[in-house]
Amino acid sequence: MTQPQAPEKACFILNPKSGAQSSINVPELIEAYLDRTVWEPELVFTEHAGHATALAKEAAEAGARIVVAVGGDGTVNEVARGLLNTSSALGILPKGSGNGLARHLGIPMVLTQALEIINQPSFGRIDSCSINGHPFFCTGGIGFDGLISSVFAQSTKRGLSSYIQLIIREFRSFQSSGATVRVNGKELTSDFFVMAFANASQYGNNAFIAPMANIQDGFLDVCLIRKVGVAEAIQLGYGLMTKQIATSSLAEFHTCSTVQVNSEVPQHFHADGEYRGQATDFEVQLYPLSLEVLAPLVN
């Protein structure tokens, strides 16, 4: 007689401060909806920035089959960083305001439905990337993207409406800077409004910067947007929300595995929406199929 398979270890890393669903009692949901015949859960809570990475590494070393990021894009990034080059897979319970990677991977925004995905696990591997050594799994960016991440990091308000208000306010005073982008043996020099590096298709909130991006194909999708005025910015915003940016004359796309950027002045930059500082020289790299994930849209 075949013995039933013992449940495997599942570590849930919770950011208690994440996102619009902060009032939801996630431990109660896990207790009620997680299939204990499949998973033996452990719940741990982050206490400060960067803590989720250390917790994820510890969980992987302790033999967790999955390590689940419970939070927004920042928490997902931290947990995923800790799982690179381990035998543990990333799971996501999306609890942030953008949830870019979760949306790209087809993970439901309703937490009970996301737990159903974990109860019937499907595993696959995805690419990961870095910008100046900072890992990202969804998008990285320089220019206006980076500035907004800097301002947003200092803001006490979260959510899509707050984000849009910041974009409108900062656009009025933003000055594009000259930069040279080296991609696929070409040098492109211009005043760039945005230099976006997409591993996944969207920033979050279904704002698609690279609708054609494939997170398993071994290529970055680079979106370059040159200096724009108000009318063009409105057109770009519409294109982001309708996936029409892929055919817009305002955006130029390239696919590559590495890209270098040299800027005339220091520019803000981000990794998965998290502000990472300023620099004049940038190196962006892709690492093929370097992270295992639990998600319905990978194989």
Candidate CATH numbers 3.30.70.20, 3.40.50.10330, 3.40.50.1980, 2.10.60.10; the one for domain 8-121: 3.40.50.10330
Average pLDDT of the chain, as a whole number: 91
User: Tokens 């590494």 correspond to what residue?
Assistant: 57
Beta strands per DSSP E along the chain: 8-14, 39-45, 66-71, 89-94, 123-131, 134-136, 139-143, 177-183, 186-198, 202-204, 207-208, 220-226, 251-256, 258-271, 274-294
Please give the structure tokens belonging to residue 298. 């990978």
Sequence length of the chain is 299
Q: pLDDT (tens digit, 9 = 90+) per residue, 281-293?
A: 999 999 999 999 9
Residue 1 has pLDDT above 60, yes or no: no
> pTM of whole model > 0.75?
yes
Contact 131, 273 (CB under 8 A): no
Spelled out in words, what is the top-level CATH class assigned to the domain 134-288?
A: mainly beta
Please list, in sequence order, all residues whose beta carbon lies within 8 angstroms of the beta carbon of residue 262, skipping any fewer than 6 positions away: 179, 180, 182, 280, 281, 282
Lowest-confidence region among 32-36, 125-129, 159-163, 259-263: 159-163
Q: Among residues of the chain, what percentage have pLDDT more than 90?
A: 72
200 forms bridges with which residues in the sheet? none
Q: pLDDT (tens digit, 9 = 90+) per residue, 88-140?
A: 999 999 998 889 999 999 999 999 999 999 999 999 999 999 999 999 999 99
Taking the domains of the chain in order of start, what are their residue ranges? 8-121, 134-288
- Distance, in Å, from the CA atom of 250 to the CA atom of 10, rounded to the nearest integer, reads 45
